Amino acid sequence: MEQDSAGAPARASLLNDPKARGLFYQVVLVVALVLFGYFIVSNTIHNLEQQNIASGWGFLENTAGFGTNQSLVSYSETSSYGRAIYVGFLNTLLVAGVGIFFATLIGFIIGIARLSNNWVISRLAYCYVELVRNIPLLLQIFFWYFAVLRSIPGKRDKWSLFDTVHLNIGGLRLPKPIWEPGSEFIGIALILGIVASFFVSRWARKRQEATGQQFPVFWTGVGLVLGLPIITYLVTGMPMTLEHPNFVETGPILRQGFELNVGINVIPEFLALTAALSIYTASFIAEIVRAGIQAVSHGQTEAAHALGLRNGPTLRLVVIPQAMRVIIPPLTSQYLNLTKNSSLAVAIAYPDLVSMGGTVLNQTGQAIEIIGIWMAVYLSLSLLTSAFMNWYNQRMALVER
């Protein structure tokens, strides 16, 4: 190539120049895409006008008029459509966040159990993976939801644990913390505890590198993170009280059972959806973890054992850190899948983004706008997740010195 152009510069006609041709086709492609996009948009607007379908974003400020059974921010029937969609968005975030946490936890446990030397444990993990990942998610959601509904006590009955946590068909009831003035110090103490334990662990690592002496970092951390807020709580005169769910046993039958809006109620729709999403996604994560661990050469384990490390520390300090490099990229995809799959919530009355947005769509008929919001939200969530995981991946990547 270089010789060609150096030898005969005059012959490099624009038509034969691979660079110019490549550029030309790319420009043509971009122009075609832009034109196609313009055609779709203008055609849509034209057709909407012709069919007398109202469009625009003004509807977001109109009164929604419908209720919901879970909102993380204040919401009532008099709130706007925009607020309703926001409520759905937060519910999606919540179920995705909690789902990702549990899916990762279960996935790692099962993935590691799959490689266990214990035959029973590894077979159990194998069965779990094969059973769960081969059943469609929607069926699993229905299974969890209707299994939950059918098997737990009805409205006028309950299962209780230590008389603080209760479960019945209306959901999981927990005591709700009521924050009084002065309680902000507890939050400050918690943050201080976390920061302090971070510095302690850094100091302990440096000291171990310098002197070889170990320091009980874990228990110090626990002490700081839990202890500081508790001491603050006691010192500031206990500014936080618990509001316990109120179970009514007398009066008309309809009034019996838990009172509305007292304590925290985790609705069964949320429980079922989180269970289904985490258990389903965990089966894929388990395989990813297994693949990652198996990708680490067995020599690493043998070397660690030769250094005198036991199985636990070998796994934690030698194998997993190396396996993470293989695990993270496919793990990202699973996180994205879980987030997007949460839109199946609509089947079991969990008010997520798609459910709330769908109701708004039906009340207003603004299909294009609502679908636009859905696409924008899921796209940005996915891009954010993958940006974060890429950053994490880069941090974990092998640094060659």
Interface with another protein (CB under 8 A), residue from 288, 354, 377, 381: 354
334 closest CA partner among 273, 279, 395: 279
Please, are residues 187 and 311 in contact by the beta-carbon 8 Å criterion? Answer: no
Residue 87 touches another protein, criterion: CB under 8 A: no
For another protein, which is the closer residue by CB, 65 or 136? 65
Residue 343 touches another protein, criterion: CB under 8 A: yes
Residue 88 touches another protein, criterion: CB under 8 A: no
Say whether 271 sits in a helix, a strand or coil: helix
**Shortest distance, position 152 Cβ to another protein, whole Å:** 10
- Find the binding residues for another protein in span 170-209 (CB under 8 A): 170
For another protein, which is the closer residue by CB, 241 or 246? 246
The mark string for 251-280 relative to another protein (x by CB under 8 A, - otherwise) is -xxxx---xxx------xx-----------
- Find the binding residues for another protein in span 121-150 (CB under 8 A): 146, 149-150
Q: CA-to-CA distance for 213 and 116, rounded, in angstroms? A: 32
Q: CA-to-CA distance for 28 and 67, rounded, in angstroms? A: 50
- Find the binding residues for another protein in span 149-168 (CB under 8 A): 149-150, 154-155
Residue 367 touches another protein, criterion: CB under 8 A: yes
Q: CA-to-CA distance for 401 and 200, rounded, in angstroms? A: 28
**Shortest distance, position 173 Cβ to another protein, whole Å:** 13
Interface with another protein (CB under 8 A), residue from 12, 66, 124, 389: 66
Say whether 179 sits in a helix, a strand or coil: strand
**What is the DSSP track for 66-132?**
---S--SS---TTSBHHHHHHHHHHHHHHHHHHHHHHHHHHHHHHHHHHT-S-HHHHHHHHHHHHHH
Residue for token pair 């690592």: 205
Cβ atoms within 10 Å, residue 258: 20
Question: Rg for the chain (alpha carbons), in Å?
Answer: 28
**Shortest distance, position 266 Cβ to another protein, whole Å:** 13
- Contact residues: another protein, CB under 8 A: 40, 43-44, 47-48, 50-54, 65-69, 77, 146, 149-150, 154-155, 169-170, 252-255, 259-261, 268-269, 343, 346-349, 351, 354-355, 358-359, 361-365, 367-368, 371, 374
